[in-house]
């Protein structure tokens, strides 16, 4: 039915379960023409609890079909975050070479009053439709309380499975290897003084091409910061990453690739407050070659209070990842997958609009909407501030503001609608963004309750939830302290995926 998707805040092109609580994406894996997305799910309510793996399938990364719960909790364990792979050579013996098993590697979290986390397996022989927990679980138990979120990859060079897993409260990542997904050998630890800003969760490890050259690659180790004193760049939950080498045993950060940054030895994944626990798809076919991920659009500070029902939380749009040369180092750039262009309705555009100390509505060009994609290029000229007001109406606006002297881009959601359900929700989230040839270039995705901004081909991303009234649909441009020119604005209403 389409009825539930008429709800005030129901995203139209972001995945949400039909009802109940969702957090991290889990077990992202491509198999036989289908993208699988599992996720932390409470089948019984709209707050965190009874953690199990929910499941959705897509053929195009755009339209999703929710499935029944894939891996439910049981009396002994909740099913925490983890990954999934296609075991093409049937190293695990769960399937056959003709029908290679899909294997999920997740954290078993002992049910109260027991304590402890270990790593476990479940497998599917029917394209992910049904799952069997391995009778020999757990496959990796170090007797620890905080030992979670295994990401498993096949390491081509050393022909073995590698697990990257978080020792959350020790602020460490551990690496293990295995020939068969069942027997694991400890390899090394990774830690990074200066990056202990929140407990470490949901790591990912992958090699990315540099500046589009498939023959030049470096490894990226991504780590998420959960609850903690300082938290991520915008406060609370968020991700950081390191660029370096992985030799099949350990991850060695490359200092030349990561120029000194104010934040510490790491780089930030996203400058907004709602992009957490992102993980990438396994087994995307080689001829495609993209590294694609999604993140959870939420923040543990207020996650359980979001003003939505009977569902709570959405995932981000899928984004591709690459490394690009910037400021003498390498930055991970994120861009929305091209498949999203299939949702575009009729394009509206305008060119060379000069604005002097003024705010102009784009309604004159028929640019408005609450599910809208925009590409905007402007030249600040002698202006001090140039920006866009999104989802305007009812005295509400979500402000995207470029400060020319500071060279920063900020997303301000203090007046974006419902903001006072939690003290940590309203705020201004700021990213450094030097002008590019004297211009600023933005790619913006607006949905019924979120904004995702990609600047300068994805070198900066800012992702935030917002809760404006349904008829706050306007878009304005504004300029302060001088004249600026909007060289080009393109906008597309986006169709619902439901």
Name the active-site residue from 24, 270, 274, 447: 24
* 40 binding ligand FRU? (CB under 6 A): yes
* 150 binding ligand FRU? (CB under 6 A): no
Among 25, 101, 226, 458, binds ligand FRU (CB under 6 A): 226
Among 46, 87, 201, 441, binds ligand FRU (CB under 6 A): 201
Q: Spell out where 328-413 has E strands.
A: 329-336, 348-361, 372-379, 385-393, 396-403, 408-412
Residue by residue, DSSP assigns 41-92 as EETT-SSS-S-EEEEEEESSSSS-EE-S-SB---SSEEEEEEEEEE-TT-TT
* Contact set for ligand FRU, span 66-95 (CB under 6 A): 80-81
Among 139, 153, 181, 202, binds ligand FRU (CB under 6 A): 202
* 107 binding ligand FRU? (CB under 6 A): yes
CB of 73 to ligand FRU, least distance (A): 11
Q: Give the separation between CA 313 and CA 316, rounded to whole angstroms.
A: 10
Cβ nearer to ligand FRU, comparing 27 with 380: 27
Q: Binding marks (x or -) toward ligand FRU, 227..266, rule CB under 6 A?
A: ----------------------------------------
Spatial neighbors of 29 by CB under 8 A, at least 6 apart, are 36, 83, 84, 85, 86, 102, 128, 281, 282, 283
Cβ nearer to ligand FRU, comparing 201 with 473: 201
* Count of residues of this chain found to bind ligand FRU when the rule CB under 6 A is applied: 13
Told to judge if 247 belongs to the known catalytic residues of this protein, a careful annotator would answer no
CB of 200 to ligand FRU, least distance (A): 9
Q: Give the separation between CA 464 and CA 425, rounded to whole angstroms.
A: 10
- Paired strand residues for 189: 174
Residue by residue, DSSP assigns 239-307 as EEEEEEEE-SS-EEE-TTTS--BTTBSSEES-SSS--EEEEE-B---TTT---EEEEES--TTTGGG-S
In this structure, what are the phi and psi dihedrals at residue 118, rounded to the nearest 5 degrees? -140, 175
Among 22, 51, 386, 455, binds ligand FRU (CB under 6 A): 51
Cβ nearer to ligand FRU, comparing 124 with 298: 298
CB of 279 to ligand FRU, least distance (A): 11
CB of 196 to ligand FRU, least distance (A): 16
* Contact set for ligand FRU, span 5-34 (CB under 6 A): 23-24
Cβ nearer to ligand FRU, comparing 82 with 387: 82
CB of 8 closer than 8 Å to CB of 448 = yes
CB of 444 to ligand FRU, least distance (A): 26
Cβ nearer to ligand FRU, comparing 81 with 91: 81
DSSP 212: T
Cβ nearer to ligand FRU, comparing 201 with 270: 201
Q: Give the separation between CA 25 and CA 239, rounded to whole angstroms.
A: 14
359 CA to centre of own chain: 33
Q: Binding marks (x or -) toward ligand FRU, 270..309, rule CB under 6 A?
A: -------x--------------------------------
Cβ nearer to ligand FRU, comparing 122 with 442: 122
Among 10, 133, 148, 182, binds ligand FRU (CB under 6 A): 148
DSSP 432: E
Tokens 């900020």, residue? 410
CB of 248 closer than 8 Å to CB of 158 = yes
Rg of the chain over Cα atoms, rounded to whole angstroms, equals: 22
- CB atoms under 10 Å from CB of 66, counted, come to 14
CB of 387 to ligand FRU, least distance (A): 32
Cβ nearer to ligand FRU, comparing 169 with 359: 169
Residues taking part in catalysis:
24
Query: Using CB under 6 A as the criterion, which residues of the chain lie in contact with ligand FRU when the complex forms?
Result: 23-24, 40, 51, 80-81, 107, 148-149, 201-202, 226, 277
């Amino acid at each position: 039915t389409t009825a539930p998707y008429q709800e005030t805040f129901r995203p139209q092109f972001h995945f949400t379960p039909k009802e109940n609580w969702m957090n991290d994406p889990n077990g992202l894996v491509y198999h036989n023409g289908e993208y699988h997305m599992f996720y932390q799910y409470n089948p019984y309510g709209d707050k965190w609890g009874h953690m199990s793996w929910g499941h959705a399938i897509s053929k195009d990364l755009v339209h999703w079909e929710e499935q029944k719960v894939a891996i439910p909790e049981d009396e002994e364990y909740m099913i925490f975050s983890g990954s999934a792979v296609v075991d093409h050579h049937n190293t695990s013996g769960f399937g056959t070479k003709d029908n290679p098993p899909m294997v999920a590697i997740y954290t078993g979290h002992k049910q109260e009053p027991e304590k402890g986390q270990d790593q476990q397996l479940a497998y599917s022989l029917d394209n992910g439709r049904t799952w069997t927990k391995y009778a020999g679980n757990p496959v990796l138990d170090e007797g620890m309380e905080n030992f979670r979120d295994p990401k498993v990859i096949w390491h081509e060079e050393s022909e073995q499975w590698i697990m990257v897993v978080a020792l959350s409260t020790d602020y460490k990542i551990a690496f293990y290897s295995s020939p068969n997904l069942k027997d694991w050998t400890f390899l090394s630890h990774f830690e990074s003084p200066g990056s202990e800003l929140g407990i470490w969760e949901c790591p990912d490890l992958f090699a990315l091409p540099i500046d589009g050259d498939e023959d030049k690659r470096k490894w990226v180790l991504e780590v998420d910061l959960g609850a903690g004193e300082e938290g991520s760049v915008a406060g609370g939950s968020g991700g950081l990453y390191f660029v370096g080498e992985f030799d099949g045993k350990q991850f060695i950060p490359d200092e030349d690739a990561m120029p000194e940054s104010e934040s510490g030895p790491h780089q930030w994944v996203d400058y907004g407050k709602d992009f957490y626990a992102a993980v990438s798809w396994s087994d995307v076919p080689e001829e495609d070659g993209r590294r694609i991920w999604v993140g959870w659009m939420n923040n543990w500070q207020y996650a359980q209070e979001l003003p939505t029902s009977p569902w709570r939380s959405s995932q981000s749009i899928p984004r591709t990842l690459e490394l690009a040369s910037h400021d003498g180092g390498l930055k991970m750039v994120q861009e929305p997958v091209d498949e999203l262009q299939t949702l575009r309705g009729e394009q509206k555009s305008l060119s060379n609009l000069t604005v002097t100390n003024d705010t102009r509505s784009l309604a004159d060009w028929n640019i408005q909407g609450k599910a809208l994609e925009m590409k905007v290029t402007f030249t600040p000229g002698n202006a001090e501030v140039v920006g866009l007001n999104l989802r305007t109406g009812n005295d509400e606006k979500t402000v995207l503001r470029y400060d020319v002297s500071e060279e920063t881009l900020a997303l301000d959601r203090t007046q974006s609608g419902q903001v006072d359900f939690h003290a940590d929700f309203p705020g201004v989230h700021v990213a450094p963004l030097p002008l590019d040839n004297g211009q600023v270039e933005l790619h913006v995705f607006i949905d019924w309750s979120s904004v995702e901004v990609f600047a300068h081909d994805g070198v900066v991303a800012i992702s935030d939830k917002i809760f404006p009234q349904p008829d706050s649909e306007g878009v304005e441009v504004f300029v302060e302290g001088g004249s600026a020119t909007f060289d080009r604005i393109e906008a597309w209403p986006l169709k619902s995926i439901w």
